[in-house]
Amino acid sequence: MKKLYLFAVFVLVTAIMVSACAAPAAPAETGAMEEEMPEEVTISIITAQGPLADGLVALIPQFEEENPGIKVEVAPFPWTTFFEKVISLARTESGEFDVIFADDPWMPNIVDGGLSVNLTEAYEATRDDDVPQVSYDVFSWPPPYGPIPLDFQTGERPDLHALPIQGNVIMFYIRQDILDERGLDPPVTWDDVLAIAEQVHCPDCDPPFYGYNVRGAAGSDALALLWSMGGGIFDDEFNVILDNEAGCDALTLYEQLSKYLPPGGNTYGTTEMVAEVVSGRAMMGIGWPGDAYAAFEDETDSDVAGKMLYLPLPASEVGAPHVSMMGHWGLVLNAHSENKDAAWAYMEWMHYNQEHALSYAHAGGIPFRKSVFNDPELILEKPWFPAQFEALMVPPKWRPRSTQATGISLAILGPAFSAVGAGDITGQEACEQAGAEIRLEMEGVTN
Amino acid sequence: MTVQQTVSPLPGQGASGANRVDTQPPPPQGMWSELFSFRDNRLGVMLIVPSLLALILVQFYPIVYNFWLILTSEKGEWIGLANLSRLTRDTIFHGALIFSLKMGVVVVPMCLLVGLGLALLVHSDYAGRKAIWISILIIPLMVSEIVAGMMWKIMYHPTLGLVNVPLAALGIEPIIWLVKADTAFIALCVVEIWRISPLAFLLLYAGLNQVPRDIYEAAAVDGATRWRAFWDMTLPYIRPMFAIATILVFVWSTRTIGTIAATTQGGPGRATWNLSWYIYGMSFQRLKPHYASAAVLVMLLMTYIAGTIFVRYLWVERRSR
């Protein structure tokens, strides 16, 4: 009897453990939206920590007030693990998050992983005239131009797989007050940048002043520099062109710029790069507006607030386009979500309404609408907006549409620039080595 | 009055030790048959089955899954040992493997030396309030890898960092620690020694506390010097702890990733890529988890071989004497 009792306890404990580990039951199949949606739906958005999440969170109360029945939860992840999380969602076909606030270079991974809903097909998503077309192009699949992945060169109509919410573009910053003081013109080409850097660089001054500044750790600025010099990783057929003349010139340019860096600048991340600028010790460099320029213009902590000039990236030569690099963020509707209609309602609300986009920018987000970029009140707060809009209209380039692109950029191109910055190899050697490595990497993809 | 049928076994002899006076039939051969031979044990076994299953899932499933990943391509096709054979030609992998081993070779002895020194110091009569010393000395152990890395990155800053201050006082030019491959290696080793030494200290201090005090008194009566007592009595006693500390420090120092992420991000170039950084990059940046799994196997084997060697020469050796 005692044994039977103990066995019953064992069975009960095991059953409780198993049921606790089991996944929650899937909701019942539903019909049309009005009939389907339960009284209250909670949608979950995965995003990166920082200003990206802050802008979304700030607008939630207004959305929930205007859309009774839909609650919004924002799950911010540290930047370093965010991409891994998105990849994991695709691999596990998880509907844990209904909306993914995704960086544009991840689109190949997202679409290839079956993580996105085709918004044009499913919800008849359209393009708004107030939004630069390139901001839609970057979230379209297949890509409407540029290197198109071989599997998608089918002539299919590009459909929207995300709605842009942040129209980020990397730009160039320079100390306007020093230019004025020395009677120098703002740089138009990278040769101008080198000339200015040479003139103002004074590492032995007290305090020291450095001609150029960079996020050198892992060669973070590499791709932007490469494109602005007219180079690239791939041509339109996905042939590797990194080691062509323009590509090698870009790495050689970085070799020359490295002479004017702060000591250790080649190991800098964004934090150290910003610290050099706000303490008034650096002349110029490349930076993302969201994480750098807001700090430059913060009067409480910055010695250079109001003294900066923001420009599209310098060109390779006079008359060449000022090509920049895109870093747009958009809302992707998770194909595995169980609350697609509610999630789409949220995405529509965030994207298609000009007032909401303006509120988002006031809350710290980066605009994506032309009207918001040119809002006079916002420009007073964020003086880089006109230059950012100008860079956006060139148009800038997006990271190659390949699932391998992020890896190539981080694991091949970045280390190549880093090695050049450290003086270990020349720009010419680095571009040849990196070109060969990328060819090897792509053999498995294209063959 | 009946006489107790069994006496307590001596330490190390276990329940089936030689001193056991057995009136019961001899136990059946083998662990499993022994377990199931007693009717009362069956229930016990059944009760531990859920935990055992969970353990198997957590411990063995990932290893088996890793093997499946190694034997298949990124598209899931069977490719046999192609991933492992590709590793033998991958010069970036070779660099990462050598860097990991170099880190181990430098960090392990340094951590053991620092840990032993601290343990002897705290264990000695000179250190009063031992609890306070211990809680201070293990602070680096409680700091996450990333935080430690960020803190040291600031300390290594050529002009603002503290590390160059004493060098400047000696008239030595500031060293730009993280920019060059050789200085970046030294810098990373120092961070790891700072971070991991407290682990060695804790283990060796625990070992020292196991050494009976009276043997020192006996040695003193016999005229042994302090050094002789340390070499012939203390060290042999703490040898098992030394082996454990060596294995753990080796594993910690060769698998570090947070420190690299926060300080050098693998640079300059790929000069500070270790195996963990390589596996992370291959898996999450270049999206080749199957190929990365082959490197995981190498890392596992490296740890296993090193662990076996340490146990064989530091632990078992003593027991066989």
Of A17, A109, A422, the CB nearest to B50: A17
**C-alpha Rg value of chain B to the nearest Å:** 25
Both A221 and A187 in one domain: the answer is: yes
| Structure confidence at residue A90 as a pLDDT band (50, 70, 90) | confident
Residue-level pLDDT at A146 = 77
- Has residue B8 got a pLDDT over 50? no
Of A216, A263, A269, the CB nearest to B159: A263
Q: Do B179 and A84 touch (CB under 8 A)?
A: no
Closest residue of chain B to A433, computed from CA coordinates: B269
Query: At CB < 8 A and 24+ separation, what contacts does A379-383 make?
Result: A381/A297, A382/A289, A382/A293, A382/A294, A382/A297, A383/A297, A383/A308, A383/A310
| Structure confidence at residue B221 as a pLDDT band (50, 70, 90) | confident
What interhelical angle do B289-310 and B39-71 show, nearest 10?
130
- Preferred mutation among A258, A418, A440, A445 to probe B, highest tally of B CBs within 10 A: A418
The CA distance from A246 to the nearest CA of chain B, in Å, is 21
- Has residue A13 got a pLDDT over 60? no
What is the C-alpha to C-alpha distance for residues A205 and A147, in angstroms, rounded to an integer? 47
Residue-level pLDDT at B7 = 38
Residue-level pLDDT at B37 = 61
The CA distance from B79 to the nearest CA of chain A, in Å, is 14
CATH number (domain holding residue A102): 3.40.190.10
Chain B residues close to A209, C-beta within 8 Å:
none
Q: In angstroms, how far is CA A62 from the centroid of its own chain?
A: 26
Both A86 and A144 in one domain: the answer is: yes
Identify which has the larger pLDDT, A19 or B219: B219
Chain B residues close to A410, C-beta within 8 Å:
281, 285
Structure tokens at A82: 């965010």
Q: Do A263 and B265 touch (CB under 8 A)?
A: no
In a domain, A28, yes or no: no
Chain A residues close to B153, C-beta within 8 Å:
267
In a domain, A223, yes or no: yes
Task: Pick the range with the lowest mean pLDDT from A255-259, B9-13, B121-125.
Answer: B9-13
What is the C-alpha to C-alpha distance for residues B82 and B85, in angstroms, rounded to an integer? 5
In a domain, A249, yes or no: yes
Both A135 and A186 in one domain: the answer is: no
Residue-level pLDDT at A225 = 92
- Has residue A202 got a pLDDT over 80? yes
Structure tokens at B277: 């950084």
| Structure confidence at residue A157 as a pLDDT band (50, 70, 90) | confident
Both A139 and A216 in one domain: the answer is: no
Identify which has the larger pLDDT, B198 or B172: B198
A255: closest CA among A341, A197, A209? A197
In terms of residue numbers, what domain contains A119? Answer: 42-166+327-392
- Has residue A19 got a pLDDT over 50? no
- Has residue A30 got a pLDDT over 50? no
Both A279 and A145 in one domain: the answer is: no
The CA distance from A415 to the nearest CA of chain B, in Å, is 4
DSSP assignments along A181-230, one per residue: HHTPPPPSBHHHHHHHHHHH-BTTSSS-BBS-B--TGGGTTHHHHHHHTT
In a domain, A287, yes or no: yes
- Has residue A64 got a pLDDT over 70? yes
- Preferred mutation among B55, B284, B288 to probe A, highest tally of A CBs within 10 A: B284
Residues 6+ apart with CB under 8 A from B205: B118, B119, B122, B123, B134
Both A276 and A411 in one domain: the answer is: yes
Residue-level pLDDT at A29 = 38
What is the C-alpha to C-alpha distance for residues B155 and B169, in angstroms, rounded to an integer? 16
What is the C-alpha to C-alpha distance for residues A240 and B77, in angstroms, rounded to an integer? 27
- Has residue A261 got a pLDDT over 80? yes
In a domain, A142, yes or no: yes
Domains of chain B, each with CATH number or no CATH: 31-71 (no CATH), 82-320 (1.10.3720.10)
Closest residue of chain B to A85, computed from CA coordinates: B284
Domain boundary pick from A392, A410, A435: A392
Q: What is the pLDDT of residues B112-133, one digit of tens each?
A: 999 999 999 999 888 888 899 9
A140 membership: H or E segment, kind and range: strand A140-141
Domain boundary pick from A346, A377, A392: A392
Residues belonging to chain A: 447
Both A199 and A120 in one domain: the answer is: no
What is the C-alpha to C-alpha distance for residues B150 and B137, in angstroms, rounded to an integer? 20
Both A176 and A155 in one domain: the answer is: no
What is the C-alpha to C-alpha distance for residues B93 and B194, in angstroms, rounded to an integer? 27
Q: Do A217 and B265 touch (CB under 8 A)?
A: yes
Of B156, B265, B282, the CB nearest to A218: B265
The CA distance from B32 to the nearest CA of chain A, in Å, is 21
Q: Which residue is associated with the tokens 């300080």?
A: B263
Chain B residues close to A416, C-beta within 8 Å:
269
Closest residue of chain B to A437, computed from CA coordinates: B92
Q: Do B286 and A83 touch (CB under 8 A)?
A: no
Residue-level pLDDT at A22 = 42
Chain B residues close to A218, C-beta within 8 Å:
265-267
What is the C-alpha to C-alpha distance for residues A330 and A165, in angstroms, rounded to an integer? 5
Residues 6+ apart with CB under 8 A from B305: none
Residue environment code for B173-191, b if the CB has 16+ CB neighbours within 10 A, otherwise e: ebbbbbbbbeebbebbbbb
Q: Tell me if residue B317 falls in helix, strand or coil.
A: helix
Q: What is the pLDDT of residues A391-445, one digit of tens each?
A: 999 889 998 888 788 788 888 999 999 999 988 899 999 999 999 999 988 876 5
Cβ contact A244:A253 at 8 Å: no
- Preferred mutation among B273, B287, B288, B291 to probe A, highest tally of A CBs within 10 A: B287
In a domain, A360, yes or no: yes
Mean pLDDT of A264-286: 92
- Has residue B223 got a pLDDT over 80? yes
Residue environment code for B29-43, b if the CB has 16+ CB neighbours within 10 A, otherwise e: eeeeeeeeeeeeeee
Q: Alpha helix (H) ranges present in A32-78?
A: 33-36, 51-66
Residue-level pLDDT at A33 = 45
In a domain, A244, yes or no: yes
Parallel, antiparallel, or unpaired for β A140-141 and A284-287?
A: unpaired
What is the C-alpha to C-alpha distance for residues B215 and B241, in angstroms, rounded to an integer? 19
The CA distance from B178 to the nearest CA of chain A, in Å, is 7
Residue-level pLDDT at B316 = 64
Both A108 and A60 in one domain: the answer is: yes
A104 membership: H or E segment, kind and range: none
- Residues from B in contact with A at Cβ < 8 Å: 43, 46-47, 50, 74, 153, 156-159, 174, 176-181, 261, 263-271, 281-282, 284-288
- Has residue A303 got a pLDDT over 90? yes
Q: Do B43 and A13 touch (CB under 8 A)?
A: no
Mean pLDDT of A119-136: 95
Residue-level pLDDT at A21 = 44
Residues belonging to chain B: 321
Both A205 and A274 in one domain: the answer is: yes
Full-model pTM: 0.79
Among A99-103, A235-239, A403-407, B178-182, name the most confident range: A99-103
| Structure confidence at residue B75 as a pLDDT band (50, 70, 90) | confident
Chain B residues close to A16, C-beta within 8 Å:
none
Of A14, A216, A264, the CB nearest to B50: A14
Residue-level pLDDT at B17 = 39
In a domain, A268, yes or no: yes
Strand A329-333's sheet: what is its strand order? A70-77, A41-48, A99-103, A329-333, A163-166
| Structure confidence at residue A237 as a pLDDT band (50, 70, 90) | confident
Identify which has the larger pLDDT, B7 or B246: B246
Both A215 and A275 in one domain: the answer is: yes
Of B176, B268, B287, the CB nearest to A407: B287
Q: Do A422 and B179 touch (CB under 8 A)?
A: yes
Both A54 and A110 in one domain: the answer is: yes
- Has residue A153 got a pLDDT over 80? no
What is the C-alpha to C-alpha distance for residues A141 and B128, in angstroms, rounded to an integer? 70
Structure tokens at A304: 């250079």
Q: Do A419 and B268 touch (CB under 8 A)?
A: yes
Chain A residues close to B177, C-beta within 8 Å:
264
Mean pLDDT computed over every residue of chain A: 87
Domain boundary pick from A392, A407, A428: A392
DSSP assignments along B19-74, one per residue: T----SPPPPSSHHHHHHHSHHHHHHHHHHHHHHHHHHHHHHHHHHHHHHHHHB-T
What is the C-alpha to C-alpha distance for residues B103 and A363, in angstroms, rounded to an integer? 46
A285 membership: H or E segment, kind and range: strand A284-287
A198: closest CA among A308, A304, A280, A283? A283
Residue-level pLDDT at A172 = 96
- CB B23: neighbour CB atoms within 10 A? 7
Q: In angstroms, how far is CA A75 from the centroid of its own chain?
A: 18
Task: Pick the range with the lowest mean pLDDT from B22-36, B89-103, B184-198.
Answer: B22-36
Q: In angstroms, how far is CA A332 from the centroid of its own chain?
A: 14
Domain count, chain A: 2
Q: Do B158 and A263 touch (CB under 8 A)?
A: yes
Q: What angle (nearest 5°) sits at the alpha carbon of residue A70, between those of residues A66 and A74?
A: 105
Q: Which residue is associated with the tokens 């300059």?
A: B268
Query: In chain A, positions 73-92, which contact chain B (CB-CB < 8 Å)?
Result: 80, 83-84, 87
- Has residue A142 got a pLDDT over 90? no
Chain A residues close to B271, C-beta within 8 Å:
419, 422, 424
Q: Do B180 and A422 touch (CB under 8 A)?
A: yes
Residue-level pLDDT at B33 = 64
Identify which has the larger pLDDT, B75 or A298: A298
What is the C-alpha to C-alpha distance for residues A423 and A420, in angstroms, rounded to an integer? 5
Chain B residues close to A13, C-beta within 8 Å:
50
Structure tokens at B267: 């640079």
The interface pTM score, or ipTM, of the predicted complex is 0.74
- Has residue A272 got a pLDDT over 80? yes
